[in-house]
Amino acid sequence: MNQKIEAFFMNAEKWKDEFLLLREIVCENTSLEEDYKWMHPCYTFQGKNIVLIHGFKEYCALLFHKGSLLKDPENILVQQTKNVQAARQIRFTHIEQVIKLQAVIKAYIKEAIENEKSGKKVELKKVTDYPVPEEFQNALDEDKALNTAFHSLTSGRQKGYLFYFNQAKQSKTRQLRIEKYYLHILAGKGIDD
Q: What string of DSSP letters covers 72-121?
A: -TT---B-SSTT--S-EEEEESSHHHHHHTHHHHHHHHHHHHHHHHHT--
Please state, in angstroms and rounded to a whole number, the distance separating the CA atoms of residues 120 and 172: 42
Q: What is the CA radius of gyration of the chain?
A: 20
Asked whether residue 82 carries a pLDDT value surpassing 80, the answer given is no
| Percent of the chain at pLDDT exceeding 70 | 99
**Where is pLDDT greater, at 29 or 82?**
29
Please state, in angstroms and rounded to a whole number, the distance separating the CA atoms of residues 104 and 118: 21
**Where is pLDDT greater, at 37 or 155?**
37
Is this structure's pTM higher than 0.75? no
The answer to whether the CB of 158 falls within 8 A of the CB of 125 is no
Helix axes 144-152, 155-167, angle to 10 degrees: 120
CA dihedral for 65, 69, 44, 8, sign (positive or negative): positive
- Domains belonging to the chain, first-starting first, are 3-118 (3.90.1150.200), 127-186 (no CATH)
Asked whether residue 34 carries a pLDDT value surpassing 80, the answer given is yes
Give the pLDDT band of residue 80 (cuts 50, 70, 90). Answer: confident
**Where is pLDDT greater, at 130 or 69?**
69
Please provide the average confidence, as pLDDT, over all residues in the chain. Answer: 93
| Percent of the chain at pLDDT exceeding 90 | 82
Give me the helices (H) in the chain, please: 3-10, 16-27, 95-100, 102-118, 134-142, 144-152, 155-167, 171-186
What are the C-alpha distances in Å from 103 to residues 45, 74, 98, 106, 108?
A: 20, 11, 10, 5, 9
Can you give the length of the chain in residues? 193
Query: What torsion, rounded to 10 degrees, do the Cα atoms 107, 110, 116, 120 define?
Result: -30
The candidate with the shortest Cα–Cα distance to 137, out of 171, 186, 187, is 171
20-25 mean pLDDT: 97
